[in-house]
Amino acid sequence: GIQVEQSPPDLILQEGANSTLRCNFSDSVNNLQWFHQNPWGQLINLFYIPSGTKQNGRLSATTVATERYSLLYISSSQTTDSGVYFCAVGLFYGGSQGNLIFGKGTKLSVKP
């Protein structure tokens, strides 16, 4: 099956710093999503980005499908960005069958 590796496993930042999280995957995919799990356990979808670049406020993501990696950029980090960031990938054929394989996550701690 598809393997997903995320790096770094842990990251500690001062508020205001920028960071880049990486996701490598072992096979071709047509579904890639980034999630944030906050300290209370809630999982929020950040991006659906099987290829290309997207931006949402201080967060942006880039996926280079041909090289099998995706990057999540967090600029001007805030304490509310703390939590675990998961990359998840999958391969689906038509419609909405989007089974995802999750990486183990990057735990981000933003210090005030």
Residues that bind other proteins (CB under 8 A): 1, 4, 30-31, 33, 35, 41-45, 47-48, 86, 88, 90, 92, 95-105
- Positive or negative: CA dihedral 77, 79, 81, 85: positive
Q: Based on CB atoms, which residue is closest to other proteins, 30 or 80?
A: 30
The rounded distance, in Å, linking the Cα atoms of 51 and 43 is 22
Q: Based on CB atoms, which residue is closest to other proteins, 20 or 48?
A: 48
Joined tokens for residue 48:
């659906």
Q: Based on CB atoms, which residue is closest to other proteins, 17 or 62?
A: 62
CB of 14 to other proteins, least distance (A): 26
The rounded distance, in Å, linking the Cα atoms of 89 and 49 is 10
CB of 89 to other proteins, least distance (A): 11
CB of 41 to other proteins, least distance (A): 5
The rounded distance, in Å, linking the Cα atoms of 93 and 97 is 7
